Structure 1
């Protein structure tokens, strides 16, 4: 029997060179996308932090963590959208179910 929903966690890093309004718009886009496709959404804005290693010549990034439950197909779509969105430096989606 297929699972109806699973628990996931995603972190994405927005390029800090974007203007503040543009960086906020990128983060809000993903918050809205997860809220529209998931349930029990928890968002933590971690703000600007130093990266472990430079990415695209940047040493800092703006981090956002989102925990949510959704259908198993949604994380793949979320990952696809991360990859085509300007301003996203890195992202990861982890399934929290055992």
Structure 2
């Protein structure tokens, strides 16, 4: 039980650490200082952690990766949209 509580505390801290970035990105609609490679890699990692948690039936991993994806999918969308529309460089699609 104690280990599960540690998982929920860690999940809460790491998940909600992303909230300020999401709010800033939505408010300013400025994604220039966020790396596309980071966003895509991080979102993919969260997705894989979610799959891992589901396969292990590990509720803290499942819950907090779902919540994290709720923050990072919009950030990923905004960054890709920014790169494709006008602000990003073509080389950023590769790196």
Q: Report the TM-score, using the length of structure 2 for normalisation.
A: 0.32
Q: Which has the higher helix share?
A: 2
Larger radius of gyration: 2
The higher-RCO structure (CA 8 Å, 6+ apart) is 1
Q: Could you state the TM-score of these two structures normalised by the residue count of structure 1?
A: 0.32
Q: Tell me which protein shows more strand as a share of its residues.
A: 1
